[in-house]
Structure 1
């Protein structure tokens, strides 16, 4: 028997394996660094890369983002259902770290490489490479999310894993936000497009090495044995079991709201810095400044979660994010405006740092709830909807951002008009708040830590039978 203190209460989990070693926790979440790197590179730089380096029309890019990512979003649940129905001699989820990691890294490098083709050839190349890269980006996180409920049922361990995972997310984000501009400029030696290609080639190598490490180090413990005489659940049964779980639905709404809100802002952030503050290098400076309070928040997140609980900690992050969004609309294009922008971003990052590990512990709890309620183990299928939502939100936010650049009269490489500059402020301030407001759905997530521990106990008893 193991007892833990979560949200100020002592809860008990029975039938548990020993606590995880730090090395296994690292193996579980280290992939968050390259995954975040690729995800943010797509969000923050792909639109810029296409418009300014490959000279592709923003309207064409908007259509490309929307169509391809929408198709990929539909593929993600199908892939998740496949993972839940099959097993391999090497594990149910862990082999997929390597199977997906290799082509994911390579396709990222190809996407950010400008070919020596004519205008039509570049368009075809952009479409093909982006389709492949986007497909893997939409499913790459499914195994890593699905495997956590199969590794541990301890609430405190899950919070610890989520906390450690967010640190690796920050590493990936730090490299993108702080290092991308100086790295591609330094590596290119005056040829920024070539610098991007070299940077993404290095990222591909690191992505592949990490995927190998994860596939051999993570150990699955709680995967139900498959009865050969038992028919696997149909896709319809999976859908019903997932969406009759209100906690999963709440988390999906929350994730969509946050993803599309941050996606719109990220998609035009470099345009905003380059043309509003006349300093493209602010991507690195501001990125570093706002990551520091995020690290502080993550470091103290377990204490905050114990004091206020998972739901309330996440809600605090939602509310602060909504309150600070409109501030960006009123900042002037001077040093005072920059300081206001940074201050609002720092506050949002600090509270968000408290909330992120709490959010990471909620989906495994929702997955356990589905198994407890329906008897179906749907780790990958339910996790796949995270990929579905993030992929669709990225498509929608990217299309909105690209289309909005055309609407506000953005022209690459020239001084922007006052109307265009105001439009950029709307894109980083007003629109993220509009979509982010849906994240308030977290208010109805009443699956308490005590209830989670009881579900974990009952699931352990079922496995003994």
Structure 2
């Protein structure tokens, strides 16, 4: 009988799992050292130098530099994002069947990163005809850069459970990774526009080309550094020729209760992110009445992510992974409600907003490590690790969740009758409750989803069993 997300407790028949909380990890040898952890963090820095630049600036490039109609550009980006998300599981399954002298995940970084760098640059190039050629070029390059990003980022995320079986060490790796992501986010948020102006000398077309080329080269070097420093210690559960068929692997994943719980909470978590980042401009324009507040709000959120990468590991070590994330979400809900009182006092608003971002972001830091834990459970149940497939599902949830958050925000703006030429009165009040209310609702739903994640206490037992199996099999 298959496990369900509600009944799954990661235990064997007849066992009674202990309550979730801090877990003593079994000893492990040859763990990733500080240099390897720092090297691993560079992958998310590279990812943000490329994909965050695409996500944040490409629409503006299409509409104001390539002179593509906004509606056409919006449709283009939606179609490409859907294709990109659907492509992720294919990359995951390919990764699970990859065996080379360089390892399983590292070859994707070594040989996929140059392709991603070139396509990132080409995405910010346009034929300049102002007609259908620009639109065709935009479709082809944006779809291809999304596929190339998946071909590099899914293996990068899947590398974590290959580096160590220790759940505590994976949480440290996840924190290092999120630290790198935060640095990348801050760099892209603060440096891109000045670089475009400085390198372009007033020519935005040239400025974007040179800036993105710089980011792409640095990102390529960083991905290669990850490939050079990361060590794949954990053996595959089975050789490629005896991997489970695709249908069997998918069924095992969809009946992996802890993974399903994490998938749902990740979807909700990134929907919340989409509302917070996408709604900042509307909040600044209508509630604050000051366009300069946009950068202040986004910078405060970026800094909260950076602080969260440092604060998360000790908090979750003390409270337990699931309970720590839930406690942070509860605190974030309270702080978000309090923001209503400070909506007209920007310094106080930013301070409380920053704290809400720190505690509400524990899940962002921890999620890759928790997905890695579900890899151990997958092998425990099925003797197939499926690192690529499980992580690709997480990647799928991040992309769809972000798009869902943006859609919810847009639907809400439609309900309140938002107009670009009318920012006062009921419009400002509507935006206020959308910007603060939607994240609260989504955080509550996250807590519900996390209630079904019941794996943490059994991890030491599962890890010991897997190590014993591998010893018996001579792996």
TM-score (norm 2): 0.83
1 CA distance for matches of 2:124 and 2:429? 30
Matches within 5 A, 1:105-124: 105-124=117-136
Determine the structure 1 residue equivalent to 2:5. none
Deviation at 1:17, TM superposition (A): 2.7
Deviation at 1:279, TM superposition (A): 5.4
Contact 2:39 2:230 in 1 (8 A): yes
Determine the structure 1 residue equivalent to 2:50. 38
2 CA distance for matches of 1:404 and 1:384? 30
Q: Deviations over 1:142-199 (max 9, x none)?
A: 1122121111112221121112111111111111233333333333333445433322
Determine the structure 2 residue equivalent to 1:254. 265
Instruction: Say whether residues 1:301 and 2:312 are aligned partners.
Output: yes
Instruction: Say whether residues 1:345 and 2:353 are aligned partners.
Output: yes
Which 10-residue stretch deviates more, 430-439 or 256-265?
A: 430-439
Cα 1:344–1:188, aligned 2, differ >3 Å: closer, same or farther? farther
Instruction: Say whether residues 1:393 and 2:401 are aligned partners.
Output: yes
SS of the equivalent of 1:20 reads coil
Which 10-residue stretch deviates more, 350-359 or 96-105?
A: 350-359
Determine the structure 2 residue equivalent to 1:368. 376
Instruction: Say whether residues 1:454 and 2:465 are aligned partners.
Output: no
1 CA distance for matches of 2:371 and 2:176? 16
Deviation at 1:305, TM superposition (A): 1.5
Cα 1:433–1:356, aligned 2, differ >3 Å: closer, same or farther? same
Cα 1:420–1:202, aligned 2, differ >3 Å: closer, same or farther? farther
Question: In the alignment, which of 200, 208, 213 is matched to residue 196 of structure 1?
Answer: 208
Contact 1:44 1:266 in 2 (8 A): no
Determine the structure 2 residue equivalent to 1:316. 327
Question: In the alignment, which of 340, 356, 366 is matched to residue 358 of structure 1?
Answer: 366
Contact 1:43 1:267 in 2 (8 A): no
2 CA distance for matches of 1:154 and 1:251? 19
Matches within 5 A, 1:139-150: 139-150=151-162
Question: How large is the Cα RMSD of the aligned pairs?
Answer: 3.1
Deviation at 1:256, TM superposition (A): 0.8
Gaps of 5+ in 1: 1-5
1 CA distance for matches of 2:245 and 2:130? 48
Determine the structure 2 residue equivalent to 1:379. 387
Cα 1:447–1:349, aligned 2, differ >3 Å: closer, same or farther? same
Q: Deviations over 1:354-400 (max 9, x none)?
A: 44433332111111111101111201111111222223234444566
SS of the equivalent of 1:61 reads helix
Determine the structure 2 residue equivalent to 1:12. 26
Deviation at 1:77, TM superposition (A): 0.5
Which 10-residue stretch deviates more, 183-192 or 80-89?
A: 183-192
2 CA distance for matches of 1:225 and 1:354? 31
2 CA distance for matches of 1:255 and 1:321? 16
Determine the structure 2 residue equivalent to 1:162. 174
Q: Deviations over 1:392-440 (max 9, x none)?
A: 23444456667888896666xxx65547766755664444445454322
Determine the structure 1 residue equivalent to 2:101. 89
Question: In the alignment, which of 95, 98, 101 is matched to residue 110 of structure 2?
Answer: 98
Instruction: Say whether residues 1:29 and 2:41 are aligned partners.
Output: yes
TM-score (norm 1): 0.85
Cα 1:399–1:122, aligned 2, differ >3 Å: closer, same or farther? farther
Instruction: Say whether residues 1:151 and 2:158 are aligned partners.
Output: no
Contact 1:368 1:456 in 2 (8 A): yes
Q: Deviations over 1:75-115 (max 9, x none)?
A: 11111111101212211111111222222222222323454
2 CA distance for matches of 1:405 and 1:191? 34
Aligned length: 450
Contact 2:53 2:188 in 1 (8 A): yes
Which 10-residue stretch deviates more, 200-209 or 174-183?
A: 174-183
2 CA distance for matches of 1:406 and 1:130? 28
Contact 1:296 1:353 in 2 (8 A): no
Determine the structure 2 residue equivalent to 1:3. none
Determine the structure 1 residue equivalent to 2:191. 179
